[in-house]
């Protein structure tokens, strides 16, 4: 008689730092789009734009292929290019700086609050001083889903003649107050444009996708032009009339005209089908993320001061990420060691972000600016699992793993 084989050890699923939620109705929406007459530049593009502008209470929304394209389009629509200067906080993804720089602008990096990662009014003022007192725009980042002192930042920006672009790639659904009035990020109550990203780890996803909202019809028109090669099919804009018109009131149906060379940043109907389906679930995703954030806040409290959540600001955020600030020196471990030990426990983590002013390209171009807040935030930040399909039990498991790994 042979001995029974040992049972396979039951392991818990790996929890990544972020992930999408794709449900049967999302798949059905994409399938319907694939069966439709248009795979791109069709009716679902306009339908998504309408849904998004209504969602954030903006007058116009222009969807595009990704969040980087959205930032680039915003820069071009504002006329930023060679000779322009744009202020960008250093704690952000590369694209916030690289998109306007690719449009031709030079970048001045601003410092941030070491506990929230958000640019403060004093940081904007200091960046303006380093820019010689003159800049053309500020791209303000709503990091992790929080927005900072938007009123004070807007006042400084307007006093210096700066346009304001809010990078809200993390912040769809976030609300803030101006006096007694509640405003939505994307509504552009204080900014000229707001950009969004719909990457898979964001609150809602299009697979890849982005959008810009604005309340100015001229900027909306410029955004659409930039999205589509810089070409127009609008007869009102045609200037080569001999080729454009068969008769004064009869434009040739095949004709289009290049206003300025541009890229193809269009989003497809397939992406927009998924985006529409996901936007319909935004309130549910928001509620789940708020519940998880509240659970983490409570569960992490006993780990203070070695581990602390990023400081809360005076807004009602829909968080995209949940970073914690860890005193790695106190636990005598490097961040890489902590990440490896967490991974061995089935817990994913990530760093958001390496300060952009320290990136090789920008350091070589501008030198490394002394930004102590950005450096301090980066030195401690670690994003732990946070997404709307997580349970409170998952959050408890994450914190227990942190305690184990850090020896707390």
Nearest of 224, 218, 215, 217 to residue 190 by alpha carbon: 215
Dihedrals phi, psi of 393, to nearest 5 degrees: -60, -40
**Domain 282-406 part of CATH 3.90.1150.10:** yes
Euclidean distance between the first and the last CA atom of the chain, given in angstroms as a whole number: 48
Q: Is 43 helix (H, G, I), strand (E, B) or coil?
A: helix
pLDDT at position 7 over 60: no
168-178 per-position pLDDT tens digit: 999 999 999 99
Any idea where the domains of the chain sit in the sequence? 24-279, 282-406
For 66-78, the pLDDT digits (tens) are: 999 999 999 999 9
Q: How confident is the model at residue 206 (pLDDT cuts 50, 70, 90)?
A: very high
Pair type for strands 245-247 and 175-178: unpaired
Per-residue tokens: 201: 């780890």
Query: How many Å apart are CA 143 and CA 155, to the nearest integer?
Result: 20
- Predicted confidence (pLDDT) per residue in 340-351, tens digit: 999 999 999 999
**pLDDT tens for residues 18-41?**
999 999 999 999 999 999 999 999
Percentage of residues in the chain having pLDDT higher than 70: 98
The answer to whether residue 1 scores a pLDDT higher than 50 is no
Nearest to 86 by CA among 122, 131, 20, 53: 131
Count CB-CB contacts under 10 A for residue 88. Answer: 30
Reported confidence tier of residue 5, pLDDT bands at 50, 70, 90: low
Please tell me whether residue 286 adopts helix, strand or coil conformation.
helix
Smallest CA-to-CA distance from 373 within 109, 137, 129 is with: 109
Check residue 4 and give its pLDDT. Answer: 52
Measuring CA to CA, how many Å separate 4 from each of 8, 11, 131? 12, 21, 74
**Could you tell me how far CA 398 lies from the centroid of its own chain?**
25
- Residue 197: cis peptide before it, omega within 30 degrees of 0: no
CATH classification (class only), 24-279: alpha beta
Per annotation, catalytic residue among 47, 202, 290, 403: 202
Q: Is the pLDDT of residue 357 over 80?
A: yes
Tokens 């609008």, located at residue: 234
Torsional sign, CA 108, 114, 119, 124: negative
Query: For 376-404, how does the pLDDT look when each residue is reduced to its tens digit (9 = 90+)?
Result: 999 999 999 999 999 999 999 999 999 99
Encoded tokens for 334: 């490097």
State yes or no: pLDDT of 155 exceeds 80. Answer: yes
Give the pLDDT score at 8.
Answer: 45
Q: Provide the token pair at 215.
A: 């309340």
Q: Please state the rounded mean pLDDT for residues 134-163.
A: 97
The pTM for the full model equals 0.95
The three-state secondary structure class of 268 is strand
Per-residue model confidence (pLDDT) at position 11: 80
C-alpha count within 13 angstroms, C-beta hemisphere, residue 389: 13
pLDDT at 328 over 90: yes
Going across the sheet that includes 381-384, the strands are: 307-309, 322-326, 381-384
pLDDT of residue 10 exceeding 90, the answer is: no
Active site residue 341: no
The per-residue pLDDT for 77 is: 98
**Contact present, 287 and 173 (Cβ < 8 Å):** no
């Amino acid at each position: 008689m042979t001995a029974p084989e040992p049972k396979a050890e039951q392991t818990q699923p790996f929890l990544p730092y972020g992930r999408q939620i794709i449900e049967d109705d999302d798949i059905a929406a994409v399938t319907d789009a694939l069966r439709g007459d248009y795979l791109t530049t069709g009716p679902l593009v306009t339908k998504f734009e309408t849904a998004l502008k209504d969602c954030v209470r903006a007058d116009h929304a222009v969807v595009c292929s990704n969040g980087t394209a959205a930032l680039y389009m915003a820069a071009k629509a504002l006329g930023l290019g060679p000779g322009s200067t744009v202020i960008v906080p250093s704690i952000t993804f590369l694209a916030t700086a690289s998109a306007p720089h690719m449009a031709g602008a030079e970048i001045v990096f601003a410092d941030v609050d070491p506990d929230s990662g958000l640019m403060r009014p004093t940081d904007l003022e200091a960046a303006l001083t380093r820019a010689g007192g003159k800049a053309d725009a500020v791209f303000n980042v709503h990091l992790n889903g929080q927005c900072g002192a938007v009123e004070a930042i807007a006042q400084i920006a307007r006093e210096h003649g700066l346009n304001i672009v809010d990078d809200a790639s993390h912040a769809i659904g976030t609300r803030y107050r101006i006096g007694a009035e509640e405003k939505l990020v994307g509504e552009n109550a204080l900014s000229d444009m707001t950009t969004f990203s719909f990457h898979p780890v964001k609150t809602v996803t299009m697979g890849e996708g982005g959008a810009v909202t604005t309340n100015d019809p001229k900027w909306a028109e410029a955004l659409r032009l930039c999205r589509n090669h810089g070409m127009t099919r609008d007869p009102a804009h045609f200037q080569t009339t001999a080729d454009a018109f068969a008769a004064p009131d009869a434009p040739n149906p095949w004709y289009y005209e290049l206003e300025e060379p541009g890229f193809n940043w269009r989003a497809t109907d397939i992406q927009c089908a998924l985006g529409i389906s996901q936007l319909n679930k935004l309130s549910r995703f928001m509620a789940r993320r708020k519940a998880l954030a509240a659970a983490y806040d409570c569960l992490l409290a006993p780990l203070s001061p070695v581990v602390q959540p990023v400081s809360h600001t005076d807004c009602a955020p829909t968080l995209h990420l949940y970073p914690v600030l860890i005193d790695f020196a106190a636990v005598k471990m490097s961040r890489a060691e902590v990440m490896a030990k967490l991974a061995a426990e089935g817990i994913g983590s990530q760093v958001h972000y390496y300060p952009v002013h320290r990136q090789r390209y920008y350091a070589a171009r501008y030198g490394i600016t002394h930004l102590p807040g950005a450096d301090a935030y980066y030195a401690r930040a670690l994003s732990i699992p946070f997404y709307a399909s997580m349970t409170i039990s998952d959050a408890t498991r994450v914190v227990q793993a942190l305690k184990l790994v850090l020896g707390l």
